[in-house]
Every structure is written in C-alpha cells, then in structure tokens.
Structure 1
C-alpha cells in the first residue's frame, strides 16, 4: 500500500456487539457489578446518550420499508458523511462522532432496516445486499447527485458499504469520495470464534443458526426473558466486550440497551446474512477512493486480521489498529474513530475543492 500509515495504539476497552446477550435471568448480578464499578469515577455518567437528534428525512427502501434517517447540517454543504451502524445497534452508536463533528461537516445517520426506528423488513430481505440498496436509497434522498460523500460503516454497516460498492460501483466514480470501515470484514465470518478455543468454536458454530431460529420463533417469550435478564445482559456485555476493567458503566449500559431493544427475531433473521457475507470482490471498487480502516486487537467478532486484509487490498488506506480494544470502537474509544474521520475528510476535501474550481 503506497500511501497508508499504520497506527498501533495501546488502548484498553471496546464493545463486542453480541446480539443475543440479553437472553437469560440473573437478577442482582448487575447491581453487584455496577455497585463495584461505581466506586470508581464514571466520566460518561452525564453523557446524553440517545438524545442527539437531527432533521428527519422520509426515505423508503425499494421494497417499501420505511427507513429512519436524520440529517445534521445544511443541505448546501460541500461534503456529507453518511454513518452506517452495526448489527443489533442503531444510529445512536455513533454518539461521540455526532457530538464532536457537529458544525464541521454535514452528517447523515440512518437506522438499518428492522433496527432502531426503521420499519420491519420481510425476513427474506434481511440481507447484506438489501442493506446496500437501502444505503443507496438514503444517498438519493439526502445528498444531491453532484455532492460528494464519505461513507462510514461500523461492523454490519461496513458490510453495507461493501454491498453498495458491489451492486452500484458507478457511485464510487461519481459521488463516493472516501470510506471508513470500522470493526468490519469482507468475508470469512464463518470462522469467527468469539474468543473460544478453535476446537470448541467449531463445535458450537453449527448450533448458533438453529438456536437463533428457534428463539426467533418464540420471540414473545424470549423478549420477556430478555427484560428479566437485563442484569445478566449488562454483565455479559461488559465481560465479552471490554478489555478495560475501568470501562464506564454508562457506556456498557447504553450499548446493552441498544442490543436489548433489537427484537430477537430480527437478530435471528440477519445472522445467516452475516455468516455468509463475502464481498472480497468489491475491494477493487473501494480501492478507487481514500479509506480509513480501523480495528480492535481484541475484537472477538471481526478480529483485526480482517482489517489488515482489507487495508492490504486498498491502495490508499490508513490502517488504525487499537491493540487492546474490542468490537465497538466508535463508542469505546471514540477519539480514534473521530480523529481518523477528520484525517480522511481532510484528505478528501482538497480533491473536491480543486474539481469545483477547475
């Protein structure tokens, strides 16, 4: 890679967005865990998680599903950054980037189908390919055809960007000016081990789809159990997601609430699409634009090897690897992601300034 700079940052923490963490019941565990943690300072205790809002723009996917989309910034801005969130989360997972980039760039946030405030999808359309088409619908509704965009995707959101590149490559010649791919992969998700020993992971892996399908068919019962098991969900999320024992309980709780708000049948419907995801063939399209590729060294869902593979294939990529972080860098170490986005925006803006004055 000719112009890539590698940054290896020793930072503890980050969330692994484990979709079904809320299933179970262990009332009291959260009180015990939080009680101990709250003896230490919590700098995020007063952070208004989930309260930052923008101007709503009505968008419908090509199959009629309404997508919840918000715009932050003037419509005549020279550049727009479009944020795509991950599996089981919603647009609020970009909280810190939304807060810290306000006023410096126009931003678009949207909830993936069946997530957050967006409408429910037919099970047959719970695919990565469909989310790529949904992203195109968002672009058409929120960004003028002559206006450049930077696409930022976390986890499944990064896969949606890959699907857009695969299905609509012309956009990367005409409009997409840069991409940020955070905690994501272009394939080989079936090899995910969740940090288990390989032998055990291979034994457990075939059971997951059947288990989730079974839970999805009993959605009402499972949702009641998830509510009762919120204490266990907090503990599991913190244990699986974070390397830093001093992680803010407010951040853990915010992530766990987003996961728990995603219906179990939605989790079950999207799981096969994630495991079957393979967009290696789109890397040539992504390689047409500058890129930021960010990874966590302790990410159990999309290990850093995935990011290295993507960055190696892109001729103009900055690889940022946070050695002791996990799966949700935008929340756990927002400065890495926001700083990377600022650098990417700075790399993109001069090119488009020259084109507009030519």
Structure 2
C-alpha cells in the first residue's frame, strides 16, 4: 500500500508539474500576442508630470499626495474635475484622462487614496470608506475651496464619492455639478466573487485578509519572484482587468500599480469594501447629472452593480461598454474621456437652462469601441508584416552564408 500511495503521490506531483508547465506555455504565448499590440500604447507613454504637487493633511494628520493640472487659458466658470482612483491603484491610473481633460480646458485634481500610491500609509484601523470620504473632503477644501466641481470615481473611488456625498450633503448640493461612477457599486455584496460565484466571494472575504496579512512581512521578497513568473502574472492581471486585446506594456503598467500596494493594506480594505452600502445615499445626487459606466466583461463590478445605482437616480445615464473589463479607463480611454466630457456638457446646459435633472428620463446605452478594434487589427497586421520580412531576411542571410562557406 505504501508503494501505491507513493506512486499516487508521484503521479499527482507529475500532473501538477505538467499543469504548471502548460500554464506557463499558455502564458508565454499570451505575452507574445500582447507584445504584438505594443503599438496601442500612448505615444507619450504612461508617465506624466503634474503642473503642481502638494500634500494635504487628512483629519487624522495623515499626508495625502495630491496632483493638479491646470490649462493655460482656464475658464473659471468650468468645474474642476476631482478624480478618485480605485482599490490597489493610484492616481496614475487616470493618466490618459487627465491629459485629455486639461486639453479640453478643465482644471484637474487627482489624489492618492490613503495607503495607496505616494500617500502616507495609515493605521490599518483607518483603512475604511468612511475615512476615505473625509480624506476627499480635505482634498477638495485644500485644492478647490470654491467654484463648481465634478466628481469622478473608479471602483473604490466611486465608493469614496458616495460616502463623501453622505457626509457633505451641503457641499454636494451647492457646488457639485456632475458625478461619474466608473466600474463601481453602491453595495459591497458580491464584489469579491471574481465572476466565479458567491462561494468564491465568501472564501476570499474570509480567507483573503488573513492570507494577505501573513504574506505582508515577506512582500519585499516578491520582486525577484515576480521576474521569474512575469508572464503568468501578466496573464492573471490581464484576465481580471481587461476584456479586450491589450498590449504587454499596459499589462505591465497595471501589474506594477496593483502590486505596489502593501498586502496588509489590501487585507484591511477588503472588509471595508464588502461592508460598503450607500444605496440610500444616492438620493443626495438625484438632482445632479450622473454618469454610470461599466464594462460588460467586468468580473469585479459587473453591470448589475451599476444598474442598482441607476435605479435610484431617475435622470442618470448608464453606459455599458462591450469587450471591456474593470480598468476600462485604461482599456478604452477615449470612450471614458468622451463620456465624462459629454456629462459635463449636459451639466453646463442644465445650469444654463434651469432644467431639473430628476425630470429627465434615464438613458441606457451599450457602446462598442470600433476605433480600438481597427487599431488592434492594424497593429497585428503591422507586426505580422515585420515578422514576415524578418523571417525572409533571416532565411536569405542563412542561404548567403551557406553559399559563401561552400
């Protein structure tokens, strides 16, 4: 029996090794395909130098990193756009929108939520959506204490916006012209399902924080391990962030953003996200222009979560983007930029004509990013053409060397 058990153990180990090898081969192939699409990356890359950087002191004394971009000919009547990023990201995730908004004439304020990006790491007990709401108020008070504002939040940043509206209803009433909720939810139930059902969600909610807390002391050793398994890591990030072809450069940028977040911070925020419930708060925004955007293939906050927001806001607009995942602002940047700019235009028209948003009908639309599909085909054809030429040149060089040696 011992021999049989040993044989079974060896067989299981061999099967696991074979499975890991197959996964590695698949990941390598996927990485090669993504490298074919590096032409999709923005010409200016993913780095950005802000016009102004400052530290804002939160209510508990924590330093929050804030960046501001201001157009040369600023129209003071236009709202300042305040942008809040999502869980395990940073203000860098808005790089493509901030450039476009400034070019369109808007002043933009971005901030790293506590324990993310370049903001200070807080006590884990303060890693709550409630505290993030107070942080957002501090950022607004420090950077745009007067004048109209528009709030744009992605994922956890949208949750922050909702909690902020509950804590600062008078500011919302008097100064907020428009709100955009990107890939977010008003309730935390089901947000850790990862598209695999509530059983997985409950397991992640119960085990995830404990596991991350145990791994936290060893996070500094992660960098060399990441290098060895880079293609597998990229495939995982791609799977849960995007739902259309993207470049290897974008996936690496995304992975670096996510894994810059400390494990203990991830562990602390997971219960806060799961306990999030701001459905009733949405009534505070009933007279504001509200845009709700989701990717149809978003595994973290699928469109059903957005629909619950839209149901509470009669005059809101719900846009679902085909072939889009959770990080839709990086996957389909022109669509998100265009939708937010349209939102601001509607808000400006409402203010000029005294139209009541609550009297307007809800609008629900599904959008396909045709332009990106064309760019993907062009990039693939361009890369295949280069690879074909290189292959032919290589064969010709080999024949020339053979003739010369003979």
Scaled by the length of structure 1, the TM-score of the pair is: 0.84
TM-aligned CA distance change 1:137 to 1:76, over 3 Å: farther
More helix by share: 2
Task: Trace 1:51-70 onto structure 2 (pairs within 5 A).
Answer: 51-70=48-67
Structure 2 alignment gaps of length 5 or more: 1-19, 355-406
Alpha-carbon distance, 1:227 to partner: 5.9
Q: Could you say what secondary structure the match of 2:150 adopts?
A: strand
Residue by residue over 1:110-151, the C-alpha shift from the partner in whole angstroms, topping out at 9 and shown as x without a partner, is 111111111111111100010110000010011132x01000
Question: Counterpart of 1:297?
Answer: 296
> Structure 1 regions of 5+ residues with no counterpart?
1-23
Which residue of the partner structure matches residue 125 of structure 2? 124
CA–CA distance in structure 2, aligned partners of residues 93 and 251 of structure 1: 11
Counterpart Cα distance in 2 of 1:313 and 1:207: 33
Cross-structure match for 1:82: 82
Structure 1 position 217, deviation (Å)? 5.0
Distance 1:341 1:218, change over 3 A: same
Judge conservation of contact 1:216–1:268 (CA < 8 Å) in 2. no
CA distance in 2, matches of 1:281, 1:50: 38
In the alignment, is the contact (CA less than 8 A) between 2:279 and 2:312 conserved in 1? no
- Give the Cα separation in 1 of the matches to 2:139 and 2:28: 41
- Contact 1:45 1:250 survives alignment (8 Å): no
- Asked whether 1:310 is paired with 2:312, we answer no
- Where does residue 179 of structure 1 map in the other structure? 179
- Which structure exhibits the higher relative contact order, with contacts defined as CA atoms closer than 8 Å and separated by 6 or more residues? 1
Residues 41, 264 of structure 1: alpha-carbon distance in 2 compared, 3 angstrom cutoff: closer
Q: 1:169-225: per-residue Cα shift (whole Å, max 9, x none)?
A: 111111111100000001043464211145555555432232223223544455664
1:206-285 matched pairs, under 5 angstroms: 206-216=206-216, 218-221=218-221, 225-226=225-226, 229-244=229-244, 246-285=245-284
Cα deviations across residues 236-274 of structure 1 (Å, max 9, x unaligned)? 111232222x31222211111111211222211211111
Change beyond 3 A, Cα 1:253–1:185: same
Taking the aligned partners of 2:296 and 2:262, their CA distance within structure 1 comes to: 29
Task: Say whether the 8 Å CA contact 1:80–1:149 is kept in structure 2.
Answer: yes
Q: How far apart are the structure 2 equivalents of 1:201 and 1:118? A: 29
- 1:154 paired residue number: 154
- 3-state SS in 2 of match to 1:140: helix
CA distance in 2, matches of 1:298, 1:237: 14
Closer, same or farther: CA 237–47 of 1 in aligned 2, 3 Å: farther
Larger C-alpha radius of gyration, 1 or 2? 2
- Tell me the number of residue pairs that the alignment of Structure 1 and Structure 2 aligns: 330
Shift in Å at residue 232 of structure 1?
A: 2.8
Q: More deviation in 209-218 or 197-206?
A: 197-206
Q: SS at the partner of 2:115?
A: coil
| Equivalent in the alignment of 1:71 | 68
Q: What TM-score, normalized by structure 2, do the two folds share?
A: 0.74
1:150/1:250 Cα in 2 relative to 1: closer, same or farther (>3 Å)?
same
Counterpart residue number, 1:341 = 340
